[in-house]
Structure 1
């Protein structure tokens, strides 16, 4: 875009230059080569004028160009150039070949470096047009200028600082103090880049500055050297005539307030800030005494009434000075200067001079209270507000007021400390201090709110005060009454009319100032002829029977809807249901049984009792599982014991054995191992066990084998001292030969009872009975078998 604009401007200026310089055309062409105005040219001989050959105008280039491509400056051109490339354009002079480059064919000039107008404002160059073949000048060499165009890139600077000025105290408003000047390196002839205006950045309360000239003047007439003897004023200079986007610079001007004779002679005085705590020493005074030694010892006391109230005087025993300290808080706004009368007395008084009064003297001490910027104070200090819970969002709860105690009386701004109201239930108007509701209130959720209100100076938020505020939410009747519990009652089948069934009470989340008053009645949908409801007038009601007897076979449950209404305003109501179950009772009226649905009493178990009950059940379950596990372990242990530790059991069968099925139902290997007896008398019983021989069908079989077996078992039991004091009798026998019973179990177990029938053993039965009686008599026990 810049290139196009420059090309356009160059074309217009070209036309102007051509018109203005037609009169001097012959002079410029006098030095051209042959054929271009040299002597002997037919045009000169004919007395005609030679046309000028150069075509260009003055060039401009913008400073601080930041593009990546070379910046187009302009174009030089000769009117003898027919565009066939026979003319070569060159330049020489300042920056030629380094800063500025030319296209030899087109004559376009470009800038290759970033230029700074504040360092160099223009460049002077010379242009040549030469024949490309012979390198001879086709046009007389001409000088042209490339001007650097200014942009606003330099801020104003105060070059004559530091500035120190002075003004007499109590000078009238507008008194000239001094002048400051700022310079701008930008081009003052181009735009407003170097047009500077002045303003006061700090210290505008006491001084002003002329925006055009930079003259500083007083803005107040009460400059007091005794209060403040110097001021630091910051002056700012902005270019572009102060418009938006201008650059600025600043400087600090020290203004000394010179003294004038505006104070009469006074007694010694002290200065102290108004916020000094009680007990702060504000100054010392000393009475001179020409005596020596102990005669110079003095004591001091305050004599005036005001001084006694506000100040206290003590004596420094080392220096004999009176030390004045603050006794009550000071307030600059209430009183700026206090006058204290201090009296000095000699400790040791010569009686001869008592009447002359030469042992005492008085002086007046002026105490100046210095003002301090204090935070706002809340007035009055009320910290309780009330608002109804149905107030709309934005309703005013109350107004807090705080004032700046300082003389300046700065405006106060208000805020709420959100750490005390994180939910933003309340808002506050920053200017008026009006507290409004920010959300819907609910007294039943939160009846009180404690918030902290902040008051701060509008121009100095560091001066802040805090006040705690309690907001009470007033109740409105917005919750209906409800039955205290889901009541359930029971009625006997033989109940009489007028019998009390249940007493009803209600609860209401509201808290009216006049107290609760509830009204009870049966709901219209009750359609009840069995029960009546009596309002007792103490916020309870009683349910009575209204008929004689009930039959739970016909109806075992009655649902009685009860309507409860509060006293409002407005009156609210709700309906609760009383469940009445018909139960069977004894003659005394005690409930014995209700319907199949479990009767639930209103006094349910507490959570603690339920937990204890569950714990007990769990303990019982664990004990049962433990017992079962121990029993299984015990049985397994008996099965796996060594043969010598096993006990024989007497197993009774009252029916015929199952034949071969018995051998499949029991593990016979453990039983048959008991027959393994070896050796004769005198051997270890544990080693005498041997398998009984297989019975064969021979009528000549001797019964001695059984007798030996039983005797050895008895001896084994007698010699084993580790067995309990009882024995069991267990025999294992095979089916004998020639038995009349066709099928007997290979295991036959019987008890020691004498009445046991052994007839199924055929001829062996009586002998078995004799052996059994012998064994039972030897052991001295009867009926000790285990099965």
Structure 2
């Protein structure tokens, strides 16, 4: 039982018998004073006895917790000084009480009265629990009842400030350390009860010296005391700028949640050191290394201990030739080949035990260094060069090409050339020379003669610093061009062709011969129209095997433009003639082409005609004129096709196009028709072109409402309602970019409604009061556009005042004012009534028929049953 939890009602229930021991003590004290309690006075001193007198005799109502001797628990806060705990009542023959056990000189009992009291303060930190044994005694000192166990539980109060385990802390953090990753801890303890908020501690950073940025570079976990770089610290910490920081760290008990919590502080000295996590310089590895692999090529170091190192490929390779061990050592796992791949880029990463990145990835760059491990390669298995037999000494006759796969522009890939042999070696063994570094081949003298040797085979030695290769070169000595082509005919006379003949048609074959060596540039013949064809209407192609020429039409013929061509055709060689030989008339021939006329359809001057007019153009306005001509000079007539709206007409003679009816841009803004031009004397000969008419807008449409359903207000109105109305305009946007709304000027309308603009196309309609009936109101609204000239429309807006559902929608359409139905409605009502009567008569007839049928069946069954009974009888 706790003193703090017993009510005054319990005190009032204590019997007078229970109070008698206390009253007798008071009386005896007043009569005898120190005589009655001289022993207590000797034990406790005058001050305590004065307290006993005051508490027992003057304020008896405060000691209202009494009861018989029994096992009992008390919960008493520490540090509250001298106080009464409980009074045990005695039962005859008991006349006194005795307490033994863990009294610790603080807890005792008044023997005669049974009052259990404290003569000092309890301390939870010294002892959290006291166990006593209490028993009652008779006059002879014999135990009457007990011993009973009395347990006093000391309740902790927050009477101890937290204490750091060090006066000053020191720590080291690396530049670019991961934000939120602790690099040190501070720790404090509190002597108060750890199971209560009294010892619940919260850490924080009070000061940060220096603090060069707007936010702190360090942060602390308020529960664990772990100190780590903040996000800003991970970015800004740099020992070159500031290598030492002092943090003032505080710790509060009561979880820092109350203003009277105890607070302690400690200094934390932090040294910033350079980041260990740095990318190594570019790694260079010589290709085709013969070392035993894997080979150590570099090492990286994380700022954090116990991390897991790994490599991350930037590009997905079939085989990644690098690895890293758990000390950050990077290895190349196999020999590299620069000719396959000359550079590698990848990343070194670190992860913590949870698999999160511990450091920012480092980019590793590897360059594979070249060694001379590739021989020169001939670009062609056999290099063939043609040389005319009259070629002069020193002439460049061709180039031998060779490559080396080793690194470009280094000595490893430098190749040099040298002629190793010549076959045959006539008329001399050194007829040819090759430039050492370029491979350009030259003649040493003017000494080639096809009659002596028409072909030479050379072996050319191609070398680099280590390797050498033989390349084969074959030189063909070709005949010099000392013969001109000669036509088989000097005049091919006339050819007649129709002007409609397709391009590419062969109209003539011609032939010339050349006495030079066949299949060479000296004997191949090129035919050209030298005169009579300024527009390149014809082209001549040569058969490379027979040197036969084929004259073809290159451009469409036109009798009206050129009815006759007088052509002069030349025959030449691609190789130049020797200086003392010239082309002459034998290499020329004549050819005349007559073009016959073919009736062609008219031709328009344009493939597309466009015009733009205003949609309000008067009927018979000229839109534009089209023009076509007939190649044969026939008269052209014009007509229109596809004029579905009948908006246009065309003058069949002049080609002028007019408006034929009222235009309307809102129906169709871009109007397309076909213009037909046909010959007067042969209507089947006709051509078509497209005419596109663009209609410019005018403001010819007043605004209109654009609403899917009529507006309504829920009955009864409560005030402040409004509904959105929308309008639109069929004209172009520029004419209704701003629409205005207003109400018709009438007393009834102005008193009941008001309208306010929302934007260019919307407005709010609002009732001015709430006294509206449940019906439909026609509100006259005027809508204006801003066209030139401006247009307006008056609309009667049907506004419903109706009872609404919980979803704020009308239950049913409001009944309108009664009026006589129209003839159509009356006929419809009459037909509906007749149909209903017909259905009723039909149903009655069907019911009677069904009843008669059932009665007939029943009668037949009765007859059958009766005959069956007669048969059995």
Q: TM-score, normalised to structure 2's length? A: 0.34
Higher Cα Rg: structure 1 or 2? 1
Q: TM-score, normalised to structure 1's length? A: 0.38
More strand by share: 2
